[in-house]
């Protein structure tokens, strides 16, 4: 349903942490990602007892909760895609973690826009597991620019 937005994400292969966008409008976004047990970060974190690193949880929350929403908002502002590449820049995060995430788990991210002005987006973002237990929550801010990159 939102494949056009997914196609604009500037992440590929092993560093794209968005499987589906299930809701998206000017006020927020909801999406999910299933953590693949063969992901590169499980090999050494922790040997024999893999756990998803907090930085990966943060990245999943940011990609779904901030970058997807920013791409949507920027495309609405522009009216159409001009062929430019989206380049996300985080400015701040404030996250609290409540639960571990293990390989193979499906997580859902829900983001609510706080404001979007002067090119800066601030969102309150939560991550939930398939049992509807809170994994993490926090405030994310960033700037997402459209850049004309010559390939």
Per-residue pLDDT tens digits for 33-90: 999 999 999 999 998 999 999 999 999 999 999 999 998 988 887 665 555 666 778 8
- Bigger pLDDT: 85 or 113? 113
- Bigger pLDDT: 136 or 89? 136
The domain 3-147 belongs to what CATH superfamily? Hotdog Thioesterase (3.10.129.10)
pTM of the model: 0.91
Q: So where are the chain's domains?
A: 3-147
Q: Count Cβ atoms below 10 Å from residue 100 Cβ, excluding itself.
A: 12
Label residue 148 by pLDDT band (50, 70, 90).
low
Of 16, 20, 45, 99, the active-site residue reads 45
The helix (H) or strand (E) run that includes residue 28 is strand 28-34
20 part of the active site? no
The helix (H) or strand (E) run that includes residue 59 is helix 54-62
């Amino acid at each position: 349903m939102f494949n056009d937005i997914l196609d604009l994400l500037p992440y590929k292969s092993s560093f794209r942490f968005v499987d589906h966008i299930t809701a998206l409008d000017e006020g927020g976004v909801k999406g999910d990602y299933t953590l693949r047990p063969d992901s590169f970060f499980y090999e050494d974190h922790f040997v024999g007892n893999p756990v998803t690193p907090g930085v990966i949880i943060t990245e999943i929350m940011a990609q779904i909760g901030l970058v997807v929403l920013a791409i949507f908002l920027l495309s609405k502002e522009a009216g159409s895609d001009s062929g430019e590449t989206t380049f996300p820049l985080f400015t701040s995060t404030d996250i609290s973690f409540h639960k571990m995430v293990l390989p193979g788990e499906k997580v859902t991210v829900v983001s609510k826009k706080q404001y979007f002005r002067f090119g800066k987006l601030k969102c309150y973002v939560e991550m939930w597991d398939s049992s509807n237990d809170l994994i993490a929550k926090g405030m994310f801010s960033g700037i997402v620019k459209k850049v004309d990159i010559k390939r």
